[in-house]
A and B are shown apart, each in its own frame.
Chain A
């Protein structure tokens, strides 16, 4: 086990290096110039531009710049944003809490919705509830999430109004109300929950459909196993059979799926954050891509890739821990 972990961790190093090299070259290939935004500014003289170019090291060949980036990273320095001129890591830590808030809420809601629904629809296979739940899961397999978000805004923001105030029923953008914040009588919890509702629905229905499908099929597989029949034959109560014998085993594959999804807590949701102007990581990434902010782009992609590798390994370890039949080779 320890040897397996060490081997897998060592394999991660060249993989991450390759990812970083590929992404660096991809950004390099892009047609856009990080300094383009300054060129039209009359306050920035050609000398200033040259100085900026020098400060960013843009004149140097790509392999030198990649080497410098890598050396700085080994010293723990992610570089400086060429848009705000702050350390890239600060740009990220500014946005991370907002994304964590949205994604954690969505993960909790997803599990709370999908696990019971999946279990019940497996136990009552071919019942009305099973048909409805399965149809929902099949539909959301194909629904483009950004379109569903638009529909939510059209219905709950543009069409439906709050009968008391005449305002839209739900806000369509942002995390809180800028005008009301800090005013007397302002209820922060209510306001944040109000703003969370639509993006949360958009994210949650999308992933709950997938988790529910998964939970259902893994539960169906388990309840036809011999050991479940044995448990019933022993005269155990149905409740005990389901929760102690079946569910425990059916939940094992689910932990893998959850572990593989956890990097999203960091990466955020590009479509959802864009649609609801949520100031999180997804939007930070898009803004950095539009302005060719090397340092921030590289930092986001590399931290994400490292998390993906880490959680792939964590998923394997969790699986082996929960299912003693699995052995590492």
Chain B
């Protein structure tokens, strides 16, 4: 099965190129300390908005911090938040959808009402209020660290992103729960938890994988958007979003590195998101599920 999917994935050329590009981006983010001689928060007030040079290959920002270092470290944060938000949203959505679809009845009505309530939250507005509320996770060990802020933002994004997955999983469970193989497992005395986890879920997972892939891209855009508005990861921790915010005030200073400091972080977001969306397309074609809800990337806010 896996081999067949992989072979079909290889037919989708943009997806293959994108997967390679993502691997490079991920590697660069992981190896950031080795690739960059400067720290991301190393301030050099004598070299503000400096144009590219041997010492600073991409120039510096308005505080004289090395732009390459900040792009690499920012990539760590942005990719990490994208993956974490996806993981949170997918696990919670799968749990809700599986319980609702498997048990039906009042469990289903209750959980689906909950999902509907979340679907009528005005997305970006509530994200901003939530990010104020959860700026720091109440975990004493992490207090004041960048990780606390990263986890908080990932959680905030996930809280408003699990509903699509829940609906997808519920629909699959509804159609699978009375199939013969499930009845057989039940007759053999298999527990409900094991039927959900081992018998039904593997048959319902394809649309979830596709939706989750697109979800990573949306989460990265949402994170950069929140950080751009000043409600995301707090400085000095670099993310592609708050680098854009910082650069905006200086981007009109032509003749300096100002415009590039505003262009490059966005280019990184764009390349990453394009690549993830193409991988999503490739997976969709390879797994060939029923086209429908969740088969396309969710829309961005404006």
Count of chain B residues with a beta carbon within 8 Å of a chain A beta carbon: 46
- Contact assessment for A26 and B133 in the assembled complex, using a CB-CB cutoff below 8 Å: yes
Whether A36 is near chain B, meaning CB under 8 Å from some CB there, is: no
Whether B146 is near chain A, meaning CB under 8 Å from some CB there, is: no
- Provide the residues of chain A in CB contact with B117, threshold 8 Å: 15, 18-19, 22
- Contact assessment for A142 and B277 in the assembled complex, using a CB-CB cutoff below 8 Å: yes
* Minimum distance in angstroms from B143 CB to a CB of chain A: 13
- Contact assessment for A301 and B263 in the assembled complex, using a CB-CB cutoff below 8 Å: no
* Minimum distance in angstroms from A30 CB to a CB of chain B: 4
- Contact assessment for B273 and A29 in the assembled complex, using a CB-CB cutoff below 8 Å: no
Could you say which of B132, B225, B263, B274 contacts A146, with CB atoms under 8 Å apart?
A: B225
Whether B103 is near chain A, meaning CB under 8 Å from some CB there, is: no
* Minimum distance in angstroms from B138 CB to a CB of chain A: 10
A206–B299 alpha-carbon span in the complex (Å) = 10
- Contact assessment for B120 and A19 in the assembled complex, using a CB-CB cutoff below 8 Å: yes
- Provide the residues of chain B in CB contact with A138, threshold 8 Å: 277
A292–B136 alpha-carbon span in the complex (Å) = 17
Residue among B113, B224, B231, B266 facing the most chain A CB atoms (10 A cut-off): B266
Whether B297 is near chain A, meaning CB under 8 Å from some CB there, is: yes
- Provide the residues of chain A in CB contact with B273, threshold 8 Å: 142-144
- Provide the residues of chain B in CB contact with A115, threshold 8 Å: none
A150–B134 alpha-carbon span in the complex (Å) = 29
- Contact residues, B229-283 vs A (CB, 8 A): 229, 231, 244, 247-248, 251-252, 254, 259, 262-263, 265-267, 269-270, 273-274, 277
Closest chain B residue to A303 by CB distance? B122
Contact indicator per residue, chain A 245-274, by CB within 8 Å of chain B (1) or not (0): 000000000000000000110010111101
* Minimum distance in angstroms from B277 CB to a CB of chain A: 5
- Provide the residues of chain B in CB contact with A78, threshold 8 Å: none
Could you say which of B126, B129, B254, B302 contacts A271, with CB atoms under 8 Å apart?
A: B302
Could you say which of B113, B125, B224, B265 contacts A301, with CB atoms under 8 Å apart?
A: B125
- Provide the residues of chain B in CB contact with A264, threshold 8 Å: 302
State the 4 A-B residue pairs at the shortest beta-carbon distance, nearest first: A147-B266, A29-B133, A304-B122, A142-B273
- Provide the residues of chain A in CB contact with B113, threshold 8 Å: 14-15
- Contact residues, B144-181 vs A (CB, 8 A): none
**Could you give 29 example pairs across A and B, Cβ below 8 Å?**
A15-B117, A16-B120, A18-B117, A19-B121, A22-B117, A23-B121, A26-B132, A27-B132, A27-B133, A30-B132, A31-B132, A139-B274, A143-B270, A144-B273, A146-B228, A147-B244, A147-B265, A147-B266, A147-B269, A147-B270, A150-B247, A150-B266, A154-B259, A154-B262, A158-B254, A210-B299, A270-B124, A270-B229, A301-B126
- Contact assessment for B126 and A26 in the assembled complex, using a CB-CB cutoff below 8 Å: yes
Whether A285 is near chain B, meaning CB under 8 Å from some CB there, is: yes
- Provide the residues of chain B in CB contact with A153, threshold 8 Å: 251-252
- Provide the residues of chain B in CB contact with A210, threshold 8 Å: 299
- Among the stretches A65-73, A224-232, A305-313, the one at the interface with B is A305-313
Interface extent on A, as a size class? 35 or more
- A sample of 9 more A-B contacts (CB under 8 A), given A30-B132, A142-B274, A144-B270, is A16-B120, A26-B130, A31-B135, A143-B273, A147-B244, A147-B265, A151-B266, A154-B259, A270-B124
- Provide the residues of chain B in CB contact with A289, threshold 8 Å: 128-129, 132, 231
Whether B204 is near chain A, meaning CB under 8 Å from some CB there, is: no
- Provide the residues of chain B in CB contact with A141, threshold 8 Å: 277, 297
- Provide the residues of chain B in CB contact with A30, threshold 8 Å: 129, 132-133, 135
Whether B217 is near chain A, meaning CB under 8 Å from some CB there, is: yes
- Contact assessment for B252 and A150 in the assembled complex, using a CB-CB cutoff below 8 Å: no
- Provide the residues of chain A in CB contact with B219, threshold 8 Å: none
- Provide the residues of chain A in CB contact with B121, threshold 8 Å: 19, 22-23, 305
Closest chain A residue to B299 by CB distance? A210
Could you say which of A15, A159, A272, A301 contacts B122, with CB atoms under 8 Å apart?
A: A301
- Provide the residues of chain A in CB contact with B53, threshold 8 Å: none
Closest chain B residue to A207 by CB distance? B302
- Contact assessment for A144 and B297 in the assembled complex, using a CB-CB cutoff below 8 Å: no
Could you say which of A18, A32, A301 contacts B132, with CB atoms under 8 Å apart?
A: A32
Could you say which of A19, A142, A308 contacts B270, with CB atoms under 8 Å apart?
A: A142
- Contact residues, A295-325 vs B (CB, 8 A): 297, 300-301, 304-305, 308-309, 312
Closest chain A residue to B138 by CB distance? A29
- Provide the residues of chain A in CB contact with B231, threshold 8 Å: 289
A143–B274 alpha-carbon span in the complex (Å) = 8
A172–B300 alpha-carbon span in the complex (Å) = 23
Contact status of A272 and B302, CB under 8 A, knowing A15-B120, A19-B121, A142-B277:
yes
